[in-house]
Chains A and B, each alone.
Chain A
Amino acid sequence: MSTTLRGAADPMARRAADGDRKRRRFPWWTLFGVVAVIALVIGSGVLGSSAPTAGQRALAIETDIRCPSCEDLSVAQSSAPTAVAVRATVQRQIAEGRSDQQIESYLESRYGASIELDPPASGWTLLVWLVPLLAGVGGLAVVTTVLIRRHVTVLDEAAAGDVGSIGSVSDDAELPTDPDRLADRRAFLVRSLSDADAEYLAGDLSDRDYLALRRRDMKRLAALDAHGSSALPGPETPAVLSAAGPAVATASAVTSSAVTAATAATAATVTSAATAERPRRGRRSWWFLAGAVAAFTVALVVAVTQFSSNRLPGQTPTGSVSLSPSQQTEETLAQAASDEDQGQVEQAASLYQDVLDQHPANEVALAQLGWIEFETGHSTGDRSLLADARAKLDRAVKLDPQDYAARLYLGTVLLQQNGDASAAVAQFALFHADGPPAALVSQAAPVIRQAYTAAGDPVPAWLPANS
């Protein structure tokens, strides 16, 4: 009995003093968080820097695009004919050298913004992105606050000790008078204290719960002993006690003194341990909390930036929310090219002109607008437009001699407008030297062949036959 009670006085001291054990047990969840963050970072592929293959690009786009005739499936997940058509288009456009943005822009121009599985982070749909983030941060703040308050309360209660109240509470109304039942009740309370000690030492009980349980049982034990001595006064007491057996008598005798001593010892231990540890434990807990918050924030940022869309190497983590002036120009040029491909020539010309208004020396806009003006002037017979086109193409070639598109356009103009096959051949030779994509060479082959034939030169070997 005395062993049990002494054991009951020890756990706080043992647990408080046995710092190594606590440290071995405590950081598991922190370790779990760190492992989760590392796994997220590695899994996201942010550390990889190799350029994606065409297949990887196609898969990334197809994962982001909704199957047009399905409810909530991506093109990559669906075998519907519309999804098959989208997959074929994506793969064809990648082979033609289109950027991911151009391809997605093309699909959006057909089906609208809803073809993107991720809602745009603008306007009302911005809420879809913000609400979970705010809820997560808010929830984390609440949990953190509750944890801190609870920790502080436990330390305060431990420091307060609350020794004086022990023994002042009595449950006389429920206390039995029968010595056997008294002994049973007492044995139950002693077992309860012992169990609480074991659970606390095993880490299954928090400081707060352990103190509450212990205080309750000690009070009941003290009340039981007080009730036992008052309910059975006079000369009968020894007889009753001896009739109840030596164990009870011993227990009663030991308890009345031991409980007081043990409670005082416990309170002293708790108070001294808590007082000594309070600043250290507070700081350590703050560090753990700060670490947890930091780990959660990092995980959140990585998750949002990585899993909100399939970002590929070279793309910005924030998407296209805020574009630099050069990015805006690229965006406009991509949009203009997309419009041009879709036959929206006027719109494309307007966008190219917008770029030239801002950047008069943009060779891409000069070449493309020059070509649009040439085609329009050629079909309408507008000489001034043809002159403008020629001026723009000359300037584009001068600004960027390695621009194969400008060379191709200029060569075509020289052939079809000026009838100067030799000059056209020279431009086409430079066009080839600038390394154009095979698809473009194949597309331009008839005009190039015509120029070489008209100039009396042999058709070059790099030109595809009969294309």
Chain B
Amino acid sequence: MTMTEDRPSGTRARHPVRWIATVALVVVAGLVAVLATRPPASVAEVDSPLLGNLAPTLSGTTLSGSPFVLPSRPGHYVVVNFFASWCEPCRQEGPQLVRFAFEHSRTNDAQLVSVVFDDTDSSASAYQAQLGATWPTLRADGALALSYGVRAPPTTFVIAPDGRLAAEVIAPVTASDLDQVIATVKARRP
């Protein structure tokens, strides 16, 4: 009472709790609005620190036992897919990778290379055979996965013809997703 009486006439009583509650409400509402209006992560392209740099050397032994080395300047787009047979999202994207490989085998403008991640050779071979994969698949190599900064399967990279890493996707991809990513990269690099 005394405080109100002491206050100069014309000023309104302050309600700190009300103000704090209002600010908190506005912040929460803003947060909800931002989260609710984010674009759906259909293609979860991530901002890898490797993007724009020369892709780490992609070499190893294929599941069939042949040595494989990707040239530092491949001259065409290369899609590198880290996968495991136990990984359900990898199984989900498998048929799409077959489709992508088939479509681009005719135009010869993109190549697909798979790398086994945290899986046995036998399981991975059986899965690839069942899938009908005809592209090279490298055996699991922790150092190779580390050089690409892979955390979990499936993780897919797109290497540009000049050998630079153009995109990283950390979700199941479809053939059209990959085409879209390549088109975007082409648009960025005329």
Which A positions have Cβ atoms within 8 angstroms of B? 68-69, 80-82, 84-86, 88-89, 108-112, 342-345, 347
Contacts and interface: CB of A to CB of B under 8 A. Distances in A.
Contact of A109 (B50, B57, B118): B50
Nearest to A109: B49
B146 A110 contact: yes
> Chain B: interface secondary structure?
loop
B148 interface: yes
Interface in B46-79: 47-50, 53-54, 56-57, 72
Given A68-B149, A68-B151, A82-B151, A110 B50 contact: yes
B49 A108 contact: yes
A343 B143 contact: no
Given A68-B149, A81-B142, A85-B145, A112 B48 contact: yes
Interface size class of chain B, counting residues whose CB lies under 8 Å from the partner chain:
20 to 34
Contact of B49 (A80, A86, A111): A111
B150 A68 contact: yes
B54 A89 contact: no
B54 A69 contact: no
A62 to B, nearest CB: 13
With most chain B CB atoms within 10 A of its CB, the pick from A69, A109, A110, A347 is: A110
Contacts of A109: 49-50
A89 B49 CA distance: 18
A343 B54 contact: yes
Nearest to B54: A343
B28 interface: no
B106 to A, nearest CB: 32
A416 B190 CA distance: 38
Contact of A112 (B117, B149, B152): B149
A426 B81 CA distance: 49
Contacts of A82: 118, 142, 145-146, 150-151
A86 B146 CA distance: 7
A347 B53 contact: yes
A249 B47 CA distance: 93
A112 B49 contact: yes
B176 interface: no
B56 A69 contact: no
21 contacts: A68-B146, A68-B151, A69-B152, A81-B117, A81-B118, A81-B142, A82-B118, A82-B146, A84-B142, A85-B145, A88-B142, A88-B143, A108-B49, A109-B50, A110-B49, A110-B147, A112-B48, A343-B56, A343-B72, A344-B54, A345-B54
B53 A342 contact: yes
Contact of B142 (A85, A345, A347): A85
The 6 closest A-B pairs by CB, nearest first: A85-B142, A110-B149, A68-B151, A81-B118, A343-B54, A111-B149
Contacts of A345: 54
A183 B150 CA distance: 85
A465 B161 CA distance: 39
Contacts of B150: 68, 82
Interface string B27-58: 00000000000000000000111100110110
Contacts of B146: 68, 82, 85-86, 89, 110
Given A68-B151, A81-B118, A111-B49, 8 more contacts: A82-B150, A85-B142, A88-B143, A110-B50, A111-B149, A111-B151, A342-B56, A343-B72
Contacts of A89: 143, 146
B48 to A, nearest CB: 7
A335 to B, nearest CB: 13
Interface in B140-160: 140, 142-143, 145-152
B53 A344 contact: yes
A109 B146 CA distance: 10
With most chain A CB atoms within 10 A of its CB, the pick from B50, B142, B148, B152 is: B142
Contacts of A342: 53-54, 56
Contacts of B151: 68-69, 82, 111
Contacts of B57: 343
Contacts of B149: 68, 110-112
A81 B47 CA distance: 23
Contacts of B117: 81
Contacts of B152: 69
A378 B152 CA distance: 40
Nearest to B117: A81
A110 B148 contact: yes
With most chain A CB atoms within 10 A of its CB, the pick from B117, B146, B150 is: B146
